[in-house]
């Protein structure tokens, strides 16, 4: 049986993560002071590329669609994608832009402060999508992640999703949180996008922001009324809640000691989608995704299938 092909679309950065930064009890950094971490790493980052990395770790065939500059950062992005076994043929190079970078300062509790620079990723547009490419033709599903920070893609999402649906390609969606100055304009486009989406993956804050509802229950009811097939609501340490037109259930989280929360939601999304494409029930998808996210937070790894199985076995023993 051929492996499912998943394409992921969205932001891509080179992340410089610095761990155990001594920013005080409330993790507040002050000007004129020096801070130190215990160790660091330089890796790919961004919601959609994080999902790509996790899906590839789980054995899916994966391609990434994003925008980079014609610079050393862009070359590094391609090298890191190829090293992870991810198709990079759909990457767009823009000589007018700088490859996006991020510096994430992470404290002892796994919380982080992120600083971004470089404008290439933000300028990815709907017109950059090579829908006639053979990889788009073969893909069973496409995941759009972090598009709330990519206004040129976001404004074209309804058209893209509708066209992909016409081709029988499943669309999974997690736009993340909207920047404050774009929130009102983008919210009005949201319902038309969800009408063509198979699965929507917000956290509680993002769900309330995008729907402008007073409670999570109201927001879930509104979102599911748009036509989306299911909503996987991420609740951090509390686990997740799954909502469809006929079902509404929760999966509990796991007690772990956090190292870093960076990428945990993306790890959840990719694990859920991977199992969903293999025909698993929503309950099974949610259980495996919740376990994978706990492993990402507690070990700062992209967990493979054996990691997740062992984790679940240990928890039920």
Task: Summarize pLDDT for 106-137 with one digit per residue, the tens.
Answer: 888 878 888 889 999 999 999 999 999 999 99
Cα angle: 212, vertex 115, 150; to 5 degrees: 50
Work out whether strand 230-234 and strand 240-243 pair parallel, antiparallel, or are unpaired.
antiparallel
Mean pLDDT in order along the chain per 10 residues (317 residues): 88 90 77 90 92 97 97 95 96 96 86 87 92 94 93 92 95 86 64 94 92 93 96 96 97 91 93 97 98 95 96 83
**Domains of the chain in sequence order:** 5-23+37-316 (3.40.1190.20)
Residue 73: closest CA among 114, 117, 35, 110:
117
Interval 166-216: pLDDT, tens: 999 999 999 988 766 555 556 678 888 999 999 999 999 999 988 889 999
Question: How many CB atoms are located within 10 Å of the residue 259 CB?
Answer: 18
Q: What pTM did the predictor assign? A: 0.90
Which residue, 311, 314, 251, is CA-closest to 283? 251
The pair of three-digit structure tokens given for residue 309, joined into one six-digit string: 């199985």
DSSP string, 156-216: THHHHHHHHHHTT-EEEEE--PPPGGGHHHHHHHHHHHHTT-SEE--BHHHHHHHHT-SSH
Closest residue by Cα to residue 146 from 100, 93, 84: 100
């Amino acid at each position: 049986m051929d492996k499912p092909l998943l394409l992921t679309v969205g932001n891509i950065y080179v992340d410089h993560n610095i761990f155990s930064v001594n920013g005080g009890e409330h993790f507040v950094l002050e000007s004129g002071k020096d801070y130190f971490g215990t160790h660091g790493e330089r890796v790919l980052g961004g919601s959609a590329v994080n999902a790509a990395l996790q899906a590839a770790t789980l054995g899916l065939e994966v391609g990434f669609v994003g925008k980079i500059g014609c610079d050393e950062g862009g070359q590094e992005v391609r090298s890191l994608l190829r090293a992870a076994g991810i198709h990079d043929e759909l990457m767009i190079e823009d000589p007018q832009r700088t490859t996006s970078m991020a510096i994430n300062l992470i404290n002892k509790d796994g919380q982080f402060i992120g600083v971004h620079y470089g404008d290439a990723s933000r300028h990815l547009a709907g017109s950059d999508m090579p829908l006639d490419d053979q990889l788009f033709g073969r893909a069973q599903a496409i995941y759009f992640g972090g598009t709330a920070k990519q206004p040129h893609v976001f404004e074209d999402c309804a058209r893209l999703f509708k066209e992909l649906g016409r081709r029988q390609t499943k669309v999974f969606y997690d736009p993340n949180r909207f920047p404050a100055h774009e929130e009102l304009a983008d919210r009005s486009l949201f319902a038309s996008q969800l009408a063509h989406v198979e699965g929507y993956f917000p956290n509680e804050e993002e769900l309330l922001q995008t729907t402008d509802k007073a409670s999570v229950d109201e927001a879930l009811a509104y979102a599911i009324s748009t036509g989306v097939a299911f909503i996987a609501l991420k609740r951090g340490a509390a686990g997740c809640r799954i909502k469809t037109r006929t079902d509404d259930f929760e999966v509990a989280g796991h007690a772990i000691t956090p190292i870093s929360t960076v990428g945990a939601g993306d790890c959840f999304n990719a694990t859920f989608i991977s199992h969903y494409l293999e025909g698993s029930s929503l309950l099974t998808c949610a259980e495996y995704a919740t376990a994978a996210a706990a492993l990402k937070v507690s070990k700062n790894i992209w967990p493979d299938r054996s990691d997740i199985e062992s984790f679940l076995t240990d928890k039920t023993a």
